[in-house]
Amino acid sequence: MFLTLDHITKKFPGRGQEGIVSAVEDLSLEIGKGEFFTFLGPSGCGKTTTLRLIAGFEFPTSGHIALAERQLEQVPPNKRDMAMVFQSYAIFPHLKVFENIAYGLRIKKLSNDEIRRRVSQIMALTKLTGLENRMPNQMSGGQQQRVSLARALVVEPKVLLFDEPLSNLDAKLREEMRFEIRDLQRRLNITSIYVTHDQEEALALSDRIAIMNKGKLAQLGTPEEIYERPRSKFVADFIGLANFLPAQVQTIQDGRATVQVGAHTLQVTALPNDTAGHASLVFVRPGDIKLVDDRTQANILEGQIIKATYLGEKFDYRVRVGDLELRVQASEGKRHAAGERVHLYLPPEHARLIGEE
């Protein structure tokens, strides 16, 4: 693998009575050359500390970091052949766009002709051509972020690092920049490591995602694996909307489990190596639950709509089922109103047993 983190731990002195705090704890993973890899998690989970360890802004308390088999723990940031795109843009306010982008090349003492060639090339790639003489305060947030991206790319790093680069942009521009970043990364085939708390951003951009929680790796996988087959309640709840139904597992056979949810018996997808005879949770996404008229088929729950919300392309329903409140999202079919009795179908392939942790 191109970049390796081997049992990385980072501890900081705590505040007050906290003692020593582990920001990252025993983290091991590998990132391939040309991969777009994202660290995703809530505030304080250790994702930014991990990025800073890779960049060389922090050094690990224990463990090893290697890039193309070169050990990096004691290598300073400017010697790691990496570049970072920051949330705050971090461009020089007193320099024009051209000089902001050229800054790293001038540090490397490249010729003026080579600087002009490379800056012009990267400005074309990042849609900045014609803005060479603009000052940062004459540019929009999206343009400033493109300058930050161009400045990072122009030095041709082996690894490109992103620290929540789109957080300061409005929703529409954030989506536009998301596609531009991914397109550039694919065209240049540059290894990219991205940090965000935005689940949609991570799903849209990444080849693989590492979800972190309390300094530890909660799950590693492709966007599809993380979203469709989360291994814990934390991951399922963090990466998207989710319903959790307390269940008693009765039998398991051929990857399917028969469970009791209140007065209802359901067929759901079982966890690998799961066993019968214990309490568990059934996990199902709101968009996977179907509102149906046929109450005789299997895997039906009966409930009452307590709230119906119009969201443009879909309706969002809150449905009371016994002591539970489920969330259901439907983009087609009959519209329902609060107070209606409805029947919910839980497809066995989308209703899964899931662990608490």
**What H or E segment, with its residue span, contains residue 100?**
helix 97-107
Dist. CA 277–CA 62, nearest whole Å: 42
Contact 115, 103 (CB under 8 A): no
- Higher pLDDT pick, 296 / 206: 206
> What's the pLDDT band for 20 if we cut at 50, 70, 90?
confident
> What's the pLDDT band for 173 if we cut at 50, 70, 90?
confident
> What's the pLDDT band for 85 if we cut at 50, 70, 90?
very high
Q: What is the pLDDT, as a whole number, of residue 295?
A: 78
Instruction: Examine the pLDDT at 53 and tell me if it is beyond 80.
Output: yes
76's tokens: 């300073």
* pLDDT tens readout for residues 225-277: 999 999 899 999 999 999 999 999 999 988 899 999 988 899 999 977 777 77
Closest to 55 (Cα-Cα) out of 75, 25, 31: 75
Instruction: Examine the pLDDT at 16 and tell me if it is beyond 80.
Output: no
Sorted by sequence, the CB contacts under 8 Å of residue 159 that are 6+ apart come out as 3, 54, 67, 80, 81, 82, 83, 190, 191, 192, 193
Instruction: Examine the pLDDT at 44 and tell me if it is beyond 70.
Output: yes
> What's the pLDDT band for 17 if we cut at 50, 70, 90?
low
> What's the pLDDT band for 357 if we cut at 50, 70, 90?
low
Dist. CA 229–CA 212, nearest whole Å: 16
* pLDDT tens readout for residues 115-125: 999 999 999 99
Q: What is the pLDDT, as a whole number, of residue 263?
A: 87
Dist. CA 162–CA 126, nearest whole Å: 16
The whole-number average pLDDT for the span 87-94 is 86
* pLDDT tens readout for residues 99-112: 999 999 999 999 99
Q: What is the pLDDT, as a whole number, of residue 199?
A: 94
Q: What percent of the chain has pLDDT over 90?
A: 77
Closest to 185 (Cα-Cα) out of 163, 201, 205: 205
The whole-number average pLDDT for the span 324-345 is 91
Instruction: Examine the pLDDT at 297 and tell me if it is beyond 90.
Output: no
**What H or E segment, with its residue span, contains residue 33?**
none
The whole-number average pLDDT for the span 319-343 is 92
Backbone angles phi, psi at 183, to 5 degrees: -65, -45
Instruction: Examine the pLDDT at 178 and tell me if it is beyond 70.
Output: yes
Dist. CA 233–CA 353, nearest whole Å: 10
Instruction: Examine the pLDDT at 332 and tell me if it is beyond 90.
Output: no
